[in-house]
């Protein structure tokens, strides 16, 4: 009997550029063949052309590099006139931004300018367009943002795909993960818009879970792979804990746990047993 062909998985580490410890963890995993994609934030103060070169050198031939569009606190926009903003001039926290997106229409021109500016900052840093575009805290799926993004990407980064976050796992099995259910709903509209504009999306997505300190990531990960088709994206957030990460993100322990699992001995065995490859 002929063995079933392996499916290719896109294992994407979000948040490159957030903090030196996150960057170091992602670079280590890419270098060891444990990741094949990473999404870059161009707004954090620790991101620089030098960090972009470090990533480009390690990722060449090993990993795709995407733009992680950032429109939430504590970061500030690159452009003048973007709204809505907090009183200190930073983006809104994700919860407030989510609520605003369903109540008050965004300034389409302002959102378009900010998306364009972040894409241009990526291209200055890397000398080329991103391989794909997604969103920090999934902001690219929000109404008002998704329309602008899907207008800008084909013009500014032709050939780039965009990440949708619809899952294949049955809804009843995900009732304890309400975030994934919301992402499903928003991704349906996102996929339709992308198809109308001829923009490629990934066939399926996984990797969400309830971010609680007691979560056992090693136990969760195999379930992410169940029933995924070829070319699916699994999101992850590995990191080494440092002062900058503690300043920006309270979920430091979970990042460390993801890094330990993806760098450990069990991960490649789980991947192979599920019939996936990263190459």
Residues taking part in catalysis: 14
Sequence-separated (6 or more) residues with CB below 8 Å from residue 91: 70, 71, 72, 73, 74, 75, 76, 77, 85, 97
Cα angle at 249 between 51 and 113, to 5 degrees?
A: 60
d(CA 27, CA 181) in angstroms, rounded, equals 31
């Amino acid at each position: 009997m002929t063995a079933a062909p392996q499916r290719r998985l896109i294992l994407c580490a979000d948040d490159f550029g957030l903090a030196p410890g996150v960057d170091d963890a992602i670079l280590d995993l890419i270098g060891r063949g444990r990741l094949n994609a990473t999404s870059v934030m161009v707004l954090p103060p620790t991101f620089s052309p030098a960090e972009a070169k470090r990533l480009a050198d390690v990722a060449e031939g090993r990993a795709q590099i995407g733009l992680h569009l950032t429109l939430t606190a504590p970061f500030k926009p690159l452009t003048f006139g973007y709204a809505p903003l907090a009183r200190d001039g930073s983006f809104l926290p994700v919860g407030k931004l989510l609520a605003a997106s369903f109540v008050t229409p965004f300034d389409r021109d302002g959102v378009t300018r900010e998306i364009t500016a972040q894409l241009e900052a990526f291209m200055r840093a890397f000398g080329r367009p991103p391989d794909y575009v997604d969103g920090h805290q999934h902001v690219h799926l929000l109404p008002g943002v998704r329309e602008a993004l899907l207008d800008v990407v084909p013009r500014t980064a032709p050939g780039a795909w965009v990440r949708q976050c619809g899952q294949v796992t049955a809804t009843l099995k995900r009732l304890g993960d309400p975030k994934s259910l919301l992402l499903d709903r928003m991704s349906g509209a996102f996929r339709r818009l992308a198809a109308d504009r001829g923009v490629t999306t990934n066939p399926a997505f996984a990797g969400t879970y309830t971010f609680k300190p007691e979560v056992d990531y090693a136990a969760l990960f195999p379930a992410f792979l169940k029933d995924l088709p070829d070319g699916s994206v699994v999101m992850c957030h590995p990191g080494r804990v440092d002062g900058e990460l503690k300043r920006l993100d309270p979920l430091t322990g979970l990042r460390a746990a993801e890094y330990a699992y993806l760098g450990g001995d069990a991960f490649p065995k789980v991947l192979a047993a599920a019939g996936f490859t990263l190459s």
